[in-house]
Amino acid sequence: MSDLPPVELLVCTACKMGQPVLEGEACLGAQLFEALNAEALPDGVSLRGVECFSNCDHGCSITIRGGSERWSYVYGRLDPEKVAIVLEGVARYCATSDGLVPWRERPEHFRKNCIARIPPLEPHHD
């Protein structure tokens, strides 16, 4: 069992990626959330839908955060077809104590579509 705090994967469930939503269909953000919800998440990861990240110009967005000593990240330009990429990125994040996954070890989509990197609330201590 890890001494690391749990990780939250937050998914914008309101994102439409500029696409019209047909009656009876879920928007792309909600579809991404449901696709992730159907998968086995890495140990220690919880999934939560969030109404809006106000990041509408950058496609479907997620936030990964894990305790007060880890960096948090917002990634965009995602869609329901990129579930495997999200799961890979979250797994790599979970393996860190400070949230800093080496750049070359991040999924390529994460390297190219990082919207924000937010510093930890508390400094990291080893």
9-55 pLDDT, tens per residue? 999 998 876 666 667 778 888 999 999 999 999 999 999 999 888 88
Q: Which domains does the chain have, with CATH numbers?
A: 7-118 (3.40.30.10)
Predicted model pTM: 0.89
Burial class (CB in 10 A: 0-12, 13-18, 19+), 123: exposed
DSSP state of 78: E
Would you state the pLDDT for residue 1? 43
